[in-house]
Structure 1
Amino acid sequence: MRSTEDLLAAEPPPAAARRKRWYRGIGAQVAVAMVLGVVVGFAFPAFAVDLKIVGDLFLSLVKAGVAPLVFLTVVMGIASAGDLKKASRIGLLALVYFEVVSTIALLLGLVAANVLSVGEGASTHASGAAQDMPAGESEHGFTAFLKDIVPDNFIGAFSSGQLLQVVVLAVLFGAGLMMLKPHMQAQVNKGLEVISETFFAFVNVIMKLAPIGAFGAIAYSVGANGTGMLLALAELVLQYWVVVALFIGGVLGLVCLLAGFNIVRILQYVRVEMTLVLGTASSEAALPGLLKKLTRIGCSKQSVGLVVPTGYAFNLDGTSIYMAICSMFVANAYGIDMSIGQQAGLMLIMLLTSKGAATVSGGTFVVFASTVAATGYLPVEGVAVLFGVYRLMSMATAFCNTFGNVVATFVIAKWCKEMDTDKVNAALADPKAFLARTEPELDDLPTDTPATDRVDDAPSDTPVVSPSLTSSTKK
């Protein structure tokens, strides 16, 4: 086995690349934009509320490219598995992992809500003015969930905004692709690689606007809630962030430890994507970057292509915690004493409804409203009280959902032996150095640097989700 030093030395940094300036990195730009958004939100609250459109437009642009990327990634992940049996093994293990971890997240949320007595001091504020909120679905339960995941036409799945429908179509399309003759499979795969690379380039252009989108989203959040937030809701936000941090550091940290990874190093590797998630409160914003980064570090194309998109629909740890804590907040605020049996029943309902949560900002709140209505005893009007601080909580929700899927990809790839363990260990030994070699900023390179000297893509012997056009034509 090669040593860590040998592996790191095997990929020398480009000679023409200069040291990257901190302000040119997208992560630093988003962080600065978030700080400016907070300042504007407090100083000019009325103006900051109008900036909501800026964040919404950015998220709309991201959504335009996410569904095709998910479809292409899942299809190519299945195709690269070589056979349906191998793909099924990864997918089945992923679903089992998702259910176990999501259940733990729900339990943690319910336990924390009981220990912290969330909402008990909010009884005098429960009748506050209701705000506009998304309407829940007219149907609830397992039957409605099944109807929602199967689209009635191929194109409609992409326009509906329901990512789970796209995943279902991609799995079926990938299974059909593997039944074709080998020469036909090769032709289709080559075409999908070209289209995938094009969509990644499209999303990369959109990501240049991420600091502007983050600025608008944060400014709106602070301007709408900064000075008028009730004490009980402020306590709820703080308690929720603490519980999410406990889940990430405790539960996901333990999972990483058992799998042989350092959760801090993993977080350092995806810090840009996670900063973007915090700024936009949307896990979709990080999806394009994660699809490339996770394959580049050593996770196989099939593991990334199957685990990440599926996790965006099924592995919503932050959503589970949010629904558990906020349901108990509504119950306590309205003086409803829920027994252990009622809480257990509530958890079963949330295990189903949480799978329908959208990955964009606002989707979790819609599903939460539907869950409260499905209980039959929690007052739906209590949901409106929480809408004012939803944005502040959705940042933690999206962060937990996204990072949970990152951890799941590392763990499942290792369990299924779909990982270059030596390369992953070497990269995580110094994530910053690995990123400097594999993802140099184009702005940091001299203008006369030949394109062949740049290392925007992984080495040719590393499987990636979206191989470059030049590498796909090599003999």
Structure 2
Amino acid sequence: MSDATLDPHAIPPTPRPAAAAAAATPRKKALWRNLGVQIIIAMALGAAVGFLLPGVAVQLKILGDIFLRLIKTAVAPLVFLCVVVGVTSAGDFKRVGKVGLIAMIYFEIVSTLALGLGMLAGNLLGVGQGMADSTRASLAHGKAPSGANAPHSTLDFILNVFPDNFIGAFARGELLQVLVIALIFGAALLHLSPEKRQPIETGLNRISDAFFEFIHLIMLVAPIGTFGAVAFAVGSSGTTVLLSLIYLILSFYAVVILFIVVVLGAISAMFKINLFQLLDFIREEIYIVLGTASSESVLPRLLEKLPAYGCSRQSVGLVLPTGYAFNLDGTSIYMSMGIVFLANAYHVPLDLGQQLGILAVMLLTSKGAATVSGGSFVVFAATVAATGILPLEGLPILFGVYRFMSIAVATTNAIGNSVATVVTAKLAGEFDPAMAQEAMARLRAERAAAA
């Protein structure tokens, strides 16, 4: 019997009209409103227009250019905010001590391995090579690579890294200079007292949120930009573009699987961690990332689950959030393979020294990658601009297939940071293997009961 029945003064609830009751029930989002579906439709329509009306399709390049310009307006400030927030999220390294030092060394080593693997695989697999002849014609319809006037000597390049004007670096779109400013500014914040630093960090986080909303609004026109870019690409070069993009997607997924099984598997075996048991433990979180294409969607759950797996709360609280800024393995692989793809597709030869130099740049820019869906592409665009030698014209085409690749990017980021947390906790002596076994037994029992 309800409380309302027991209380003689209780007021009976007013019946709601059927329409109001229906309105209170959340409706399932229409499939056509999903950005991924819109991108797929836009690609199909763009390819059709490119095949059927190649003369008209070439003129549609302006749609892709408009989208690219809108993205570029937010790149410099967003990268600055992400890098500063990432640096400050690491906290006071003197206070965090051994755990923080081990984590940062691990992040740099594994991020370098991910970047190197992606670049090596891109070269060996020849991603984008099928487009080389056709994109020469494409560039003839557009403009020269944006870095045509960039400094070429080593000394000029080094000098150009350092800004001579805080605002000027943003106005000119000099992303390397913005990165230097962000790193110094982040370090300066760490030298402030917590009382002075807290409001600044809060303000930067809020401004960062606003810029992400800015990006989300721009993404609303992404299908239009993708339509124009794909129509132009197919109209000016035929089927080679589509075949090359499909090959890039398949190659990327193969490299990501190789990284998880071989690289992370070897690291786990080195420290006597059962990788597949850990993956089974965070299986539900992996499913969530696969559905949302955002590793950030499972950060609160991982912060709660990994201590149950045997990692101390101190190590999880430090390593996992910091890893979300400094240890994005999937993003690193995507960026390095994307760089090779653009170089091959637009016939921009990169010697070993140039590739190593770009890899060094990506070691910085990948640290500013946002963990929300689409953030990796924004930072990838920033990296392409920072190189000064790769054409920006290929970015809208790559964005057309980014939705397919972002699922693997986010999943690899989440798995990589989970492994990093357990490895760091074990190296710091803050891991209890008995708790891990108990947690797995308890989880399997819960799954069996639910089944």
TM-score where L is the length of structure 2: 0.62
1:158 aligns with 2:205: yes
Query: What residue in structure 1 maps to residue 285 of structure 2?
Result: 273
- Residues 1:306 and 1:96: Cα distance change in structure 2 (over 3 Å): same
The alignment partner of 2:347 has SS state of coil
Q: Is the 8 A contact 1:93 1:412 kept in 2?
A: yes
Q: Partner residue of 2:258?
A: 246
Task: Flag the 1:103–1:256 CA change in 2: closer, same or farther, 3 A.
Answer: same
- 1:415 Cα deviation after fit: 1.2
TM-superposition CA deviations, 1:133-162 (whole Å, max 9, x none) = xx9965325413315645882431321337
**Greater CA deviation, 255-264 or 98-107?**
255-264
Displacement of 1:260 in angstroms is 1.3
Distance between the aligned counterparts of 1:358 and 1:145, measured in 2?
15
Q: 1:226 to 1:395 in 2, by over 3 A?
A: farther
Separation of aligned partners in 2, 1:88 and 1:367? 30
Query: Corresponding residue for 2:182?
Result: 145
Contact kept in structure 2, 1:110 and 1:325, CA below 8 Å: yes
Tell me how far apart the structure 1 counterparts of residues 281 and 250 of structure 2 sit (CA, whole Å): 27
Cα pair 2:308 2:435 within 8 Å, conserved: no
Inter-CA distance 97–161: structure 2 relative to 1 (3 Å threshold): same
Task: Report percent identity of matched pairs.
Answer: 46
Instruction: Identify the match of residue 369 of structure 1 among 363, 376, 381.
Output: 381
| Partner SS state of residue 361, structure 1 | coil
Q: Which residue, out of 91, 106, 110, partners 2:100? A: 91
Shift in CA distance, 148/361, structure 1 to aligned 2, threshold 3 Å: farther
CA contact (8 A) 2:111 2:328 kept: yes
Please say if residues 175 and 385 of structure 2, whose CA atoms lie closer than 8 Å, have aligned partners that are also in contact: no
Deviation at 1:350, TM superposition (A): 0.6
Change (3 A) 1:408 1:226: farther
User: What is the match of residue 232 of structure 1?
Assistant: 244
Task: Give, in whole Å, the separation in 1 of the partners of 2:268 and 2:352.
Answer: 31
Are the equivalent residues in 1 in contact too, given 2:327–2:417 (CA < 8 A)?
yes
1:295 aligns with 2:307: yes
Q: Partner residue of 1:324?
A: 336
Verify the 8 A CA contact 1:103 1:351 in the aligned structure 2.
Answer: yes
Displacement of 1:331: 0.3
When residues 99 and 416 of structure 1 are mapped into structure 2, their CA distance, relative to the original with a 3 A threshold, is same
Within 2, Cα distance between the matches of 1:436 and 1:380? 52
- Deviation of residue 375 (structure 1)? 1.2
Structure 1 gaps, min length 5: 1-32, 50-66, 79-83, 164-216, 445-475
State the 1:436 CA deviation: 7.0
Correspondence for 1:387? 399
Contact kept? 1:145, 1:356, Cα under 8 Å: no
- C-alpha contact 2:121 2:337 (8 A) present in aligned 1: yes
- 1: distance between equivalents of 2:312 and 2:318? 10
Aligned residue for 2:176, secondary structure, equals coil
Q: Distance in 2 between matches of 1:162 and 1:125?
A: 40
Structure 2: how far apart are the matches of 1:332 and 1:92?
38
Distance in 2, matches of 1:137 and 1:109, equals 26
SS of residue matched to 1:140? helix
CA deviations 1:364-393 (Å, max 9, x no partner) are 111111111111111122222211111111
Instruction: List per-residue Cα deviations over 1:202-236 (Å, max 9, x = no partner).
Output: xxxxxxxxxxxxxxx9xx9xx98999981110110
Deviation (angstroms), 1:101: 0.3
Distance in 2 (alpha carbons) for counterparts of 1:159 and 1:356: 16
One-letter identity of the residue aligned with 2:182 = F
Q: Which residue of 1 aligns with 2:109?
A: 100
Aligned to 2:77: none
Query: Does the Cα contact within 8 Å between 2:295 and 2:411 map onto a contact in 1?
Result: yes
- Asked which structure has the greater CA Rg, the reply is 2
> Take 1:138 and 1:345, find their aligned partners in 2: how far apart are those partners?
16
| Superposition map of 1:49-448 within 5 A | 87-123=96-132, 126=135, 127=138, 138-141=174-177, 142-146=179-183, 149=186, 150=189, 153-161=200-208, 230-428=242-440, 431-433=443-445
- 257-266 vs 428-437, which deviates more? 428-437
User: d(CA) in 1 for partners of 2:268 and 2:176?
Assistant: 35
Q: Which amino acid is the alignment partner of residue 366 of structure 2?
A: S
In 1, distance between residues paired with 2:117 and 2:429? 30
Larger % of helix: which? 2
What is the deviation of 1:299? 1.1
Structure 1 length-normalised TM:
0.59
Question: Does the CA-based 8 Å contact 1:106-1:347 persist in structure 2?
Answer: yes
> Structure 1 pair 36/143, CA: closer, same or farther in 2 (3 Å)?
closer
Alignment partners' CA distance in 2, 1:282 and 1:424? 26
In structure 2, give the amino acid aligned to 1:424.
A
- Deviation track 1:380-433 (CA, whole Å, cap 9, x = no partner) reads 222222111111111111111111000011111111111222111343467523
Shift of 1:361: 1.3
Secondary structure of the corresponding residue to residue 338 of structure 2: helix
Which sections of structure 2, spanning at least 5 residues, go unmatched? 1-28, 46-81, 143-170, 190-196, 211-219, 235-240
SS at match of 2:425: helix
Q: Secondary structure at the match of 1:294?
A: helix
C-alpha distance in structure 2 between counterparts of 1:393 and 1:122, whole Å = 19
Question: Given that residues 162 and 358 in structure 1 are in contact (C-alpha distance below 8 angstroms), is that contact kept between their aligned partners in structure 2?
Answer: no
Note the aligned Cα RMSD (angstroms): 4.1
Question: Aligned residues, how many?
Answer: 319
User: CA offsets, 1:15-72, max 9 Å, x none?
Assistant: xxxxxxxxxxxxxxxxxx9x9999x949x948x99xxxxxxxxxxxxxxxxx9xx99x
- Counterparts of 1:308 and 1:162 in 2: how far apart (Å)? 20
